[in-house]
Structure 1
């Protein structure tokens, strides 16, 4: 196998070598809607300096550097600086709490953590347990706090602007880790390699068909596979005219950006569209979307009613697509030139072979629900789960990748999502493992047992519901609910906070002690729970 291009080289150095050094790499829009232009030369230089800092701190090839920052220019510079060192990047959501942080930082054996002062307290609560963490670099700390908590600006001021690294490397060189939640245990880190770049770029071209004069906006955070592959890597590598918004969600801000920047191609999520649907109809009439040519959606199913609303309000086609942290790039999609079937994931890309199989890996006929599977072989496929090779092997049957999603295929080859095959909850596009939430709740002394499920929700796709057994001498109260919410936010994530809490006398479990979530879900929805013969007797 030949060599491949380093992702950081392709996105920062190669555009400069090709004569685009002084051209716009991206336009950064701040929360107050002020903007800055960043050129490819500025991006290359800033990531060179970051690479020099990491090299001086002793970071070697294959070691992990984690980024715990909100969406920011510093995040992008850090990501490419890590890859120039041939180290492994791991971008973490800035909403993560201390337990979620610990699980990921310890599992990835992170050597250096890059964060900011507002997030430092969460890190300091667990730093004593992270034996391999050598230093914390703080992006907005003026001077070093000690030999462990260091000022990144001070470090950057003392390194050169140039950095020598190999443009061509072995394709299997690790590049980044994307964590996805497990249904019954710790989160899993999907490892991706530099050799996946070609597939990422091929999918970007085939799905979005962006023309040189079009403006592209992907709203996803780079901690999410969508935001990293389609908001950062692909548009930079392909010299796409793009904007980046570092602010929080606001209907007015988003609509203003669409109008002011004359966005032509917009990539977002169904939850964002459902949130926009809650706004007064008059708000949308105040803005001009005539430049918008097409919209794309990912992260969860795009409901037909949201599809029709988006098409009506924004006056263009809405294309849903499907992929996972593990697949590394889009696998199945709606796209220009194909008729859209509202509610469908679309059809596989030209180089992807998708199929619906039963549990014995036999093909199922059209319209019959089964396991959504893919034939191995695309470049952006993850290479392992960090420290969980056994779980990685469980995702494959020979040369067939088992996605963990249930779906069916119609007579015209369109795929239709049904649900997850496991207990993972898809809330607002984030996959939340019930185990993490349950663990955080069990830390509260008033709670003796707990179970967490996901149920359909018109805004979030799935909302999180917690069933609690309290100690006999305790009662439910607003104060206890607040205690639950705060602990989950601090330990797991704000996105993992249940929308509802229900008190129960006992949690239904089978004879081996596994929670029967289907029983809880059926009871919540007022449906027949089905066969209860495996339930343990009280």
Structure 2
């Protein structure tokens, strides 16, 4: 199958790191790539925060700007690498002063404030496990994750603590300390003001030996059943951040980089904190949420050279049209990339029209810890393709056989499951408390991604769809079970089934189907009440946008709601195998 190409532009300054893809792949080894990093002094192991911050100070680059923060009300703050090293040292000392031990979990819940970045790096220095949370989550998703992760410390703001954690804190007996950036609630045990605790701590800190395989990060990603999955990553993942920052995002000395993702998602941690700092560039942080004109202003005023954003934002910018960019000086911008969901081919082409540059799509997962498949700066782009595997990553399209083994699909343009040859540095090391689930992801030395794809004759990979029911909306992964559970907390709801529906802006939007208990009447007032209930419990990013009422929901004989059947009927698709369908199931009308 032949696909349209966007040919690589004329050579730029500086030339791309990955000029010859085939030669680089043939010569690459992770062992040799480790020379990009220092390791802790005296051979004391490998620590993410040291590689991201202190290494640059040691090599005389401490004066460079590490973080340039733009507040939503016009405030500005810059932190050099030296200043970031000292501030993160203070946070590490503050944790030790509280008696927090290596391996204990520090959860960070706040918007994109400077203290978030200081806390993440300081906790990594103290060898704690860091878990950033999305601040727009409702109380239930936040406390569920902190409960699963046995949070020992929570770093947050007064508003978020009072609105989303305080009333549910009895569910978190292990939460000993809450560090608040702002005014501390009066007479609250274990609640500490950032200013008195952190700002008063010493700016000198010596990192203890750190095993590269010790856990550094805990990210939560939703599954189709049960609670969210806690994905554990080791300090060794920082090597993948260094390599992908160079090859996939083409970061060079002197670059001004902006990743628009929130650190509450893995992209915002791996590429909104770690990769740019490891590569020693200036990392722009914008507190405000998406607004096209504001974003264009940031690109212009901050002279952003490399921009990493999401398809949802690109589609919203497309809706405004290229005319909105007239008069905006984007002469500094040389590379644009996209992640979070497959990027529509028309969005790649639109980038050329609006910005004079194409968007370079790439693919990875929370479980992979870093970019695995990418469109590179010097490589022709086939709009709609994920690109080619990163040097050091072996990808394949496979078919699972009845005996549990795998069959590699060599023929081009044949759909199968995308698989990655293990290991690589940023590969997840565990699912929190779910060893069996983790083991099932690996067969015959391959990690099975659960995503369907095919490879064309030129070696480009193309995303086909997800093999499970996880909903991807505006770059957020949403587990249907979590939404269903929140809906069923309402006294009117007997059953709930949740699916994702295609949406031109968000990729997918959440739709819920609800069966009511006797005595409740379906109608617009109850629909509004349920939508409000879900938004309060889950937050606007996760809550359903639509709710339909059904007399009952399609279920298997064992009682499991068949989401795929709900989706097929909603979209008019083939219903597939109904052999496990409950025999007396009725389709039921919707209102």
State the partner residue of 1:326: 367
Q: Separation in 2 of the partners of 1:351 and 1:281?
A: 38
Q: 1:334, 1:347 within 8 Å by CA — same for their partners in 2?
A: yes
Query: Once structures 1 and 2 are overlaid, which stretch shifts more, 207-216 or 309-318?
Result: 207-216
Tell me which of 438, 441, 444 is aligned to 1:392: 438
Q: 2:241, 2:278 within 8 Å by CA — same for their partners in 1?
A: no
SS at match of 1:205: helix
State the partner residue of 1:471: 517
Structure 2 unaligned runs (5+)? 1-30, 32-42, 585-591
- Over 3 Å counting, the alpha-carbon distance change for 1:109 and 1:341 in structure 2 is same
Q: 2:176, 2:190 within 8 Å by CA — same for their partners in 1?
A: yes
**CA distances 1:125-146 after superposition (whole Å, capped 9, x unpaired):** 2110111111211111257633
2:192 corresponds to 1:146: no
Q: Separation in 2 of the partners of 1:475 and 1:390?
A: 43
TM-score, normalised to structure 2's length? Answer: 0.88
Q: Separation in 2 of the partners of 1:485 and 1:164?
A: 51
**CA distances 1:160-212 after superposition (whole Å, capped 9, x unpaired):** 2222223x521111111011101111001111111111122111111122233
SS at match of 1:328: coil
Q: 1:451, 1:467 within 8 Å by CA — same for their partners in 2?
A: yes
Q: Separation in 1 of the partners of 2:529 and 2:120?
A: 36
Q: 2:349, 2:358 within 8 Å by CA — same for their partners in 1?
A: no
State the partner residue of 1:402: 448
Q: Separation in 2 of the partners of 1:468 and 1:87?
A: 42
Q: Separation in 2 of the partners of 1:486 and 1:147?
A: 32
Tell me which of 64, 67, 71 is aligned to 1:26: 67
SS at match of 2:541: helix
Q: Separation in 2 of the partners of 1:249 and 1:178?
A: 23
- Over 3 Å counting, the alpha-carbon distance change for 1:148 and 1:485 in structure 2 is farther
Query: Once structures 1 and 2 are overlaid, which stretch shifts more, 320-329 or 488-497?
Result: 488-497
State the partner residue of 2:542: 496
Q: 2:419, 2:448 within 8 Å by CA — same for their partners in 1?
A: yes
Q: 1:290, 1:315 within 8 Å by CA — same for their partners in 2?
A: no
2:404 corresponds to 1:363: no
**CA distances 1:305-360 after superposition (whole Å, capped 9, x unpaired):** 11111221111121100001110111000112211111110110111100111122
SS at match of 1:49: helix
SS at match of 2:320: coil
State the partner residue of 2:587: none
Displacement, 1:276? 1.2
State the partner residue of 1:48: 89
Q: Separation in 2 of the partners of 1:34 and 1:118?
A: 20
Q: Separation in 1 of the partners of 2:115 and 2:199?
A: 14
Tell me which of 222, 231, 241 is aligned to 1:181: 222
Q: 2:515, 2:551 within 8 Å by CA — same for their partners in 1?
A: yes
State the partner residue of 1:238: 279
2:559 corresponds to 1:518: no
- CA RMSD of superposed structures (Å): 1.7
Q: Separation in 2 of the partners of 1:4 and 1:341?
A: 41
SS at match of 1:494: coil
2:133 corresponds to 1:75: no
Q: 1:143, 1:150 within 8 Å by CA — same for their partners in 2?
A: no
Task: Write the mapping of 1:8-407 to structure 2, written as runs, cut at 5 A.
Answer: 8-121=49-162, 122-141=164-183, 145-166=187-208, 168-360=209-401, 361-364=406-409, 365-407=411-453
Q: 1:96, 1:490 within 8 Å by CA — same for their partners in 2?
A: no
**CA distances 1:267-289 after superposition (whole Å, capped 9, x unpaired):** 10101101112225432224222
SS at match of 2:248: helix
Q: Separation in 1 of the partners of 2:325 and 2:63?
A: 36
Number of corresponding residues: 537
Q: Separation in 2 of the partners of 1:275 and 1:483?
A: 29
SS at match of 1:278: helix
Structure 1 unaligned runs (5+)? none
Q: Separation in 2 of the partners of 1:77 and 1:298?
A: 25
Displacement, 1:119? 0.7
**CA distances 1:99-118 after superposition (whole Å, capped 9, x unpaired):** 21122111111111111111
Q: 1:4, 1:194 within 8 Å by CA — same for their partners in 2?
A: no
Query: Once structures 1 and 2 are overlaid, which stretch shifts more, 441-450 or 211-220?
Result: 211-220
SS at match of 1:481: helix
Q: Separation in 2 of the partners of 1:70 and 1:203?
A: 26
Q: Separation in 2 of the partners of 1:63 and 1:187?
A: 20
SS at match of 2:56: helix
Displacement, 1:69? 0.9
Q: Separation in 2 of the partners of 1:278 and 1:251?
A: 10
2:459 corresponds to 1:417: no
2:499 corresponds to 1:453: yes
